[in-house]
Amino acid sequence: MGLPMMMERSSNNNNVAELSRVAVSDTHGEDSPYFAGWKAYDENPYHESHNPSGVIQMGLAENQVSFDLLETYLEKKNPEGSMWGSKGAPGFRENALFQDYHGLTSFRQAMASFMEQIRGGKARFDPDRIVLTAGATAANELLTFILADPNDALLVPTPYYPGFDRDLRWRTGVKIVPIHCDSSNHFQITPEALESAYQTARDANIRVRGVLITNPSNPLGATVQKKVLEDLLDFSVRKNIHLVSDEIYSGSVFHASEFTSVAEIVENIDDVSVKERVHIVYSLSKDLGLPGFRVGTIYSYNDNVVRTARRMSSFTLVSSQTQHMLASMLSDEEFTEKYIRINRERLRKRYETIVEGLKKTGIECLKGNAGLFCWMNLGFLLDNKTKEGELELWDVILKELKLNISPGSSCHCLEFGWFRVCFANMSEKTLDIALKRIHEFMDRRRRF
């Protein structure tokens, strides 16, 4: 090769073997403000009795409002460990050995029926199209590997979940091209915005492979309108690209009738060439409050994608133990019906509490109807309606009010001053305290 011999050999201990680009890249995004707030929380976490002046975590979309329902179920239905295997420990042998990426049939059936229930039976799910992954994070990454090559792009409407920058791009090498949305129409996706994003990609010689939406939206906390879904499918067909709908908050819509899944749109379509571009991501982490179980799924209308995803899921399998534990719970329709209903109701109440509480202090939120958070508008408090201005305010809220909320800029929102505020990962009392702190802050500001 022409290299001098001494450069080819490293005979001393000072040479450390290189790491890959993936390993050294900062695409994991953990240096961004979104995660910096988490660090502040870790250092001084709020606790009702031990540390009432600590940082309240309002940046984590976790659902704890219905723990009691889960607890009761687990204790009641589990005296002989029946939940940990339908035959209890004797089912252990199958659990221990089973590592088939097809997943337990009973569990896939249970997932399919649960997903149908959430959609009020308006769409059917075929258990054989369900691919299991260890969480929705893995599902989104896996789909990206399958639908796009390195340097291709997915179009994603803003504002979007900050984790996408990492989940969709880090190992896959795929780019995200934002579809910009703004408050003029409640941040809904318009055909113009879609075309504009597509054109932006083309101008940069980037091949667009699909659109990825979250419905209900994170961070907006609002469902996507049926008309918009139809527009999206139409757009995907015209450009011959994929459509991924991340519906992990579908069970957290306050009024079931307000949610339209892309599955409903596709349900009445026979044309395979239209259907097979649609893929849905789901998980039990938000709706069922089971993030620790690591259960996610890809539901695809495309046989090739199902086959490929299945094989690739070996990198992210759901343990057979977990599948067994949850299969009986998810197929217990009496339990799931009750859980979904009560959970929706409690989330709605929480939402109203926080929105009303904020309104009293003069703060408006986007009209939301789903999810574990609200989209709060503090634009009027900014001296400079810039990213820097927004981050300054965010810092004040973190340091003075000791509230960790997520700045809209970390969600790639081009309108500055919006913040995502989570309300379901705390007790009602804690939410009260958070609102009090905001109240006091606003009072202080008014006095100046």
At 15, the amino acid letter reads N
Q: Which is nearer to other proteins, 317 or 431 (CB)?
A: 317
Name the one range near other proteins by CB under 8 A: 72-80, 109-117, 218-226, 428-436: 72-80
Give the 3-state secondary structure of residue 403: strand
Q: Which is nearer to other proteins, 292 or 448 (CB)?
A: 292
User: Considering CB under 8 A, how many residues would be counted as binding other proteins?
Assistant: 100
Q: Which is nearer to other proteins, 306 or 405 (CB)?
A: 306
By the rule CB under 8 A, 240 interacts with other proteins: yes
Query: Distance (Å, rounded) from C-alpha 369 to C-alpha 159?
Result: 17
Within 200-229, which residues bind other proteins (CB under 8 A)? 202, 205-207, 209
Q: Which is nearer to other proteins, 209 or 413 (CB)?
A: 209
Q: Which of 156, 165, 47, 125 is nearest to 330 (CA)?
A: 125
By the rule CB under 8 A, 96 interacts with other proteins: yes
Shortest reach from residue 358's CB to other proteins, in Å: 26
By the rule CB under 8 A, 1 interacts with other proteins: yes
Shortest reach from residue 403's CB to other proteins, in Å: 19
Within 145-204, which residues bind other proteins (CB under 8 A)? 145-150, 152, 167, 170-171, 173, 202
Shortest reach from residue 414's CB to other proteins, in Å: 26
Q: Which of 232, 249, 92 is nearest to 161 (CA)?
A: 249
Within 279-308, which residues bind other proteins (CB under 8 A)? 289-295, 302, 304-305, 307-308
CB atoms within 10 A of CB 27: 16
Within 303-362, which residues bind other proteins (CB under 8 A)? 304-305, 307-308, 311-312, 314-322, 325
Give CB contacts under 8 A, 24+ apart, made by 376-384.
376/405, 376/418, 376/419, 376/420, 376/421, 377/183, 377/417, 377/418, 378/417, 378/418, 378/419, 379/415, 379/416, 379/417, 379/418, 380/417, 381/417, 381/445, 382/416, 382/417
Please pick, from the candidates 38, 45, 98, 414, the single residue that binds other proteins as defined by CB under 8 A. 98
Query: Distance (Å, rounded) from C-alpha 281 to C-alpha 212?
Result: 10
Any residues with CB less than 8 A from the CB of 85 and at least 6 apart, and which?
91, 92, 94, 95, 321, 324, 325
What is the widest separation between alpha-carbon atoms in the chain? 75
Shortest reach from residue 200's CB to other proteins, in Å: 13
> What are 140's two structure tokens?
């989104």
Query: Distance (Å, rounded) from C-alpha 174 to C-alpha 422?
Result: 29
Please pick, from the candidates 6, 20, 31, 257, the single residue that binds other proteins as defined by CB under 8 A. 20
Q: Which is nearer to other proteins, 99 or 184 (CB)?
A: 99
Q: Residue length, the chain?
A: 448
By the rule CB under 8 A, 242 interacts with other proteins: yes
Shortest reach from residue 205's CB to other proteins, in Å: 7
Q: What are phi and psi of 162, to 5 degrees?
A: -55, -30
Burial class (CB in 10 A: 0-12, 13-18, 19+), 78: middle
Catalytic residues: 161, 246, 248, 286
Name the one range near other proteins by CB under 8 A: 7-15, 333-341, 369-377, 410-418: 7-15
Give the 3-state secondary structure of residue 374: strand
Shortest reach from residue 25's CB to other proteins, in Å: 9
DSSP letter at 45?
Answer: B
Shortest reach from residue 207's CB to other proteins, in Å: 5
Within 39-58, which residues bind other proteins (CB under 8 A)? none
Please pick, from the candidates 58, 111, 134, 168, the single residue that binds other proteins as defined by CB under 8 A. 134
Shortest reach from residue 266's CB to other proteins, in Å: 10
Query: Distance (Å, rounded) from C-alpha 203 to C-alpha 208?
Result: 11
Give the torsion sign (CA, 153, 155, 176, 136): negative
Name the one range near other proteins by CB under 8 A: 119-127, 219-227, 269-277, 332-340: 269-277
Within 362-421, which residues bind other proteins (CB under 8 A)? none
Q: Which is nearer to other proteins, 96 or 396 (CB)?
A: 96
